[in-house]
Amino acid sequence: MTPGPAADLTVVTAGAQMFADALNSQGVATVDVAWTPPVAGTEDALTAVMLDRRRVGANAKALTAMTSAGAALVDVRPAHAALDLEPGHFLHAGPPLTWDRMPGPLRGALIGAVVYEGLADTAEQAEARLDAGKFTFEPAHHRGAVGPMAGVVSSSMWMFELHDETTDHTACCSLNEGLGKVLRYGAYSPEVITRLRWMGDVLGPALQTATRVTGPIDIVAIIAQMIQMGDEGHNRNRAGTLMLLKEWLPALIQSGLPTGDIADVVAFVSGNDHFFLNLVMPACKLMTVAASGIPGSTVVTTMARNGTDFGIQVSGLADEWFTGPAQVADGLYLGNYGPADANPDIGDSAITETAGIGGFAMATAPAIVRFVGGSVSDALATTRRMYDLCVGENPRWALPIMDFRGTPTGIDVTSVLRTGQLPQINTGMAGRVAGVGQVGAGLVSPPMRCFERAAEALARRVSP
């Protein structure tokens, strides 16, 4: 029994305000829930899932797995070596989809990749062969890989290879090309292909040498530092990029490579504030895959988009995808671009939010809140709201502005449906038309439908 006088009792109230008033009038403190009904139509599934006796323990296990996974950069290799990727087989971002449903940016990136691999001489020829069904596609997630925006990977593209010693999982991600006209935003002009060739000929081998000499580089530790330096790990990766470069520099300098190449590599990496995104993403993938496949867990382990569909995966349901239509982000546009030019949401980079950073750590990145269309207080409120959707916090990644509270971690499908509040994702926007490239950046949410479908599937797995 609760001991002591009433003054020691604190009651959480949900429902009729008069009961809270009656407690307050007795001098009892209450914390009153701003209660709203669950998303209409999900009541029965939610009840079944909430009453699943495995849920609380399974979610605690998922949180522990996610927050204790390691992620070290162990190698830089071409995709045919790192992922056994064959020529003519391509990885893409998001859930599976067929060529006929692919949006402009994904088509553009595939055209560029076909040309880059020498499987066609011109863009027109590449498109004709893609149309004719000459090539095969697969979500990067199915190979333990992740890719920003279109996320297209072909067999000779170079990959970062990250390893988690705790689970012995490996996750891969391509090397970041920079901003503007780049393959991942759907551009495939000659300058894009030329850059990819330089990345394959010079950048990849140089970083391989540097990484192999430096030894495993702890990416989780760099992320811990970067989020105390104003990076949220999705739309801002400036500090992380420079910290990684710092790790490589001694080995690069001593590599014996032509000094011109070293200078080019250093200039390329340090000149691209998003270079480190492609290391944050596979690190987050290792965290979330560690939490996958725990029966009864309602924790989201993947959020990914292919520009047509938004898909999520949930721990208790392992690799099953739950999809809904991808939304157009709300944000700022480059130049004269406007909402009509933007493609719906695309990319695996929402793996960062799935692991508790990006939009979830918005409070730590006040420098970019205006870029994504908000104020500093919006950023603080966003992170506070995301705590309410998550099963816990990640003590390894502390947010100074939140009094060193860990980042909100482990999106709970039931919390999303019960509150009607969606995870916030910070994202870039690709042009709708193949070949255009980036048109802006902003904020986006998954469609509620993904969570509705996941809850129904979770409910079906609850043993009566």
Chain residues in the site for another protein (CB under 8 A): 1-6, 8-26, 28-40, 43, 46-47, 50-51, 53, 55-56, 377, 380-381, 384-385, 387-388, 414-415, 418-421
- Least separation, in Å, of the C-beta of 19 and another protein? 6
| Closer residue to another protein in complex, CB, 209/414 | 414
| Beta carbon nearer to another protein, 279 or 422 | 422
Task: Specify the DSSP element, H or E, that contains 332.
Answer: strand 330-333
Question: Which residue number, 25 or 136, has a Cβ lying nearer to another protein?
Answer: 25
CA distances 314 to 196, 300, 453, Å, are 34, 4, 11
Picking from 297, 303, 288, the residue whose alpha carbon sits closest to that of residue 317 is 297
Q: What is the smallest separation between the CB atom of 46 and another protein, expressed in angstroms?
A: 5
Radius of gyration of the chain (CA): 23
Give CA–CA dist 72/76, Å, rounded: 12
Distance CA 57, CA 17 (A): 32
- Residue 13: CB minimum distance to another protein, A: 5
- Asked if residues 350 and 357 have their Cβ atoms less than 8 Å apart, the reply is no
Nearest distance, CB of residue 299 and another protein, angstroms:
13
Q: Minimum distance between the CB of residue 36 and another protein, rounded to whole angstroms?
A: 4
Q: How far apart are CA 97 and CA 423, in angstroms?
A: 23
- In whole angstroms, what is the distance from residue 91 CA to residue 80 CA? 12
Q: How far is the CB of 317 from another protein (least distance, A)?
A: 19
> Which residue, 104, 205, 192, 94, is CA-closest to 151?
94
Indicate the length of the chain as a whole number.
464
Shortest distance (Å) from residue 322 CB to another protein: 20
3-state secondary structure of 410: strand
Nearer to another protein, 58 or 312 (CB): 58
Q: How far is the C-alpha of 371 from the C-alpha of 392, rounded, in Å?
A: 28
Q: Which is nearer to another protein, 392 or 435 (CB)?
A: 392
CB 393 within 8 A of CB 363: no
Q: Nearer to another protein by C-beta: 4 or 256? A: 4
Measured from the CB atom, the residue of 27 and 180 that comes closer to another protein is 27
